[in-house]
Amino acid sequence: MTKKLLIQSVAFIFMLSVIHFSAFAQNKKNERKKEFYFSWGYNKEWYTNSSVKIDQPSLGNHYGFVNIHGHDHPGWDEGLFTKALSIPQYNYRIGLFVDKKKGIAFEINFDHTKFIFADQQARIKGTLNKRTVDTMVNFQHPDFYYYLNNGANFLLFNVVKRWQWYMTDNEKIKIDLLAKAGVGPVIPHVENRFFGNSNKSGFQFGGWNMGIEGAVRATFFNYVYLEYCNKLDYARYSNLKVYEGTAKHAFGTYEMILNLGFTFPVGGKVK
pLDDT at 9 over 80: no
3-state secondary structure of 59: helix
Calpha distance 212→216 (Å, rounded): 14
pLDDT of residue 85: 79
Which residues, including other chains, have CB under 8 Å from residue 271's CB and lie 6 or more apart?
none
pLDDT of residue 32: 81
Q: Which of 23-32, 132-141, 176-185, 216-225 has the lowest mean pLDDT?
A: 23-32
Residue spans of alpha helices (H) in the chain: 3-26
CA quadruple 138, 140, 146, 149: dihedral sign: positive
- Residue 133 in contact with residue 122, Cβ under 8 Å? no
pLDDT at 136 over 90: yes
Q: Which residue has the higher pLDDT, 55 or 1?
A: 55
Rounded to the nearest angstrom, the gap between the alpha carbon of residue 258 and the centroid of all alpha carbons in its chain is 12
Calpha distance 109→111 (Å, rounded): 7
pLDDT of residue 84: 78
Calpha distance 117→105 (Å, rounded): 36
Residue 117: other Cβ atoms inside 10 A: 23
Q: Which residue has the higher pLDDT, 235 or 169?
A: 235
Beta bridge partners of 164: 176
Give the mean model confidence (pLDDT) for residues 15-20: 49
**Helix H or strand E encompassing 121:** strand 120-128
Phi, psi of 155 (to 5 degrees): -115, 125
Tens-digit pLDDT profile for residues 202-248: 999 989 999 999 999 999 999 999 999 999 999 999 999 999 999 99
Q: Which residue has the higher pLDDT, 246 or 2?
A: 246
Q: Tell me the pLDDT band of 131, cut-offs 50, 70 and 90.
A: very high
What is the identity of the amino acid at 181? Answer: A
pLDDT at 28 over 70: no
Q: Which of 10-24, 48-62, 87-101, 173-187 has the lowest mean pLDDT?
A: 10-24
CA quadruple 190, 82, 37, 211: dihedral sign: positive
pLDDT at 98 over 50: yes
Calpha distance 69→47 (Å, rounded): 8
In 3D space, the residue among 203, 83, 91 whose CA is nearest the CA of residue 147 turns out to be: 203
In 3D space, the residue among 152, 132, 183 whose CA is nearest the CA of residue 255 turns out to be: 152
In 3D space, the residue among 56, 42, 54 whose CA is nearest the CA of residue 84 turns out to be: 42
